[in-house]
Amino acid sequence: MIEDLLVCVIGLAVVFVVLAVLMFVIIGMGRLFGGGEEGAEDANAAVKTKPEETKQEPPIPEGATELAAITLAMASYLRQRGRELGPYITINNMEYQVDVGDLHSPPISVEVNGEKFRASLNGEGLPVSTQIELNLGIWPRDTKRGPFWRAACPPTQGGYWSRGGWTGRQAAGMDRK
């Protein structure tokens, strides 16, 4: 029985050791090869030296792109109402597993059934805020109202909308200088 107990202890220890070694191998690979973007840059550099070997990525099915767009639209809509998109959406009775990254930081990662997409609005995230509806209802009657609609785009995103159009740091191009 002691022998069998030993099999268990050694067995579990070996499983832990193997996965721990794998973990360090993965961490090491991450440091060596970096993330996908770095990897992509490296790959591009290699391609530049051998242009004849350039090979385009297989095209993503059009339907999948539309699904990603629908997912992003749904996530944005729900976020503006202070809610989050769940892990599944259903279209035409078909269930899709979706995952949407941070809507504010571009490029926004959208995943539909494991297919990954990166979306951005001219290099920016979506200017959505959950503050709008909250602001509309909390003004006391005697409060001197300012142009509360300016809060539609938080100043932290570099600008806001006024009657005159887009204003703020971003419109003036100040944050780039």
Residue numbers of the site for another protein (CB under 8 A)?
Answer: 1, 4-5, 7-8, 10-12, 14-23, 25-27, 29-30, 32-40, 42-43, 58, 83-84, 86-87, 97, 99, 101, 109, 114
Q: Which is nearer to another protein, 5 or 138 (CB)?
A: 5
Sign for the pseudo-dihedral over CA of 160, 162, 166, 171 = negative
What's 89's DSSP letter?
A: E
Instruction: Give dist(CA 12, CA 89) in Å, integer.
Output: 40
Q: Which is nearer to another protein, 30 or 61 (CB)?
A: 30
Q: Tell me the closest approach of the beta carbon of residue 102 to another protein, in angstroms.
A: 8
Relative to beta strand 88-91, strand 94-100 is antiparallel
Which tokens belong to 135?
């602001």
Q: Tell me the closest approach of the beta carbon of residue 26 to another protein, in angstroms.
A: 4
Q: Which is nearer to another protein, 16 or 77 (CB)?
A: 16
Q: How far is CA 56 from the centre of its chain?
A: 24
Q: Tell me the closest approach of the beta carbon of residue 101 to another protein, in angstroms.
A: 5
Instruction: Give dist(CA 113, CA 102) in Å, integer.
Output: 18
Q: Tell me the closest approach of the beta carbon of residue 122 to another protein, in angstroms.
A: 20
Q: Give the three-class secondary structure for 79.
A: helix
Q: Which is nearer to another protein, 40 or 121 (CB)?
A: 40
Q: Tell me the closest approach of the beta carbon of residue 110 to another protein, in angstroms.
A: 10
Q: Which is nearer to another protein, 104 or 169 (CB)?
A: 104
Instruction: Give dist(CA 121, CA 12) in Å, integer.
Output: 50
Query: Do the Cβ atoms of 109 and 120 come closer than 8 Å?
Result: no
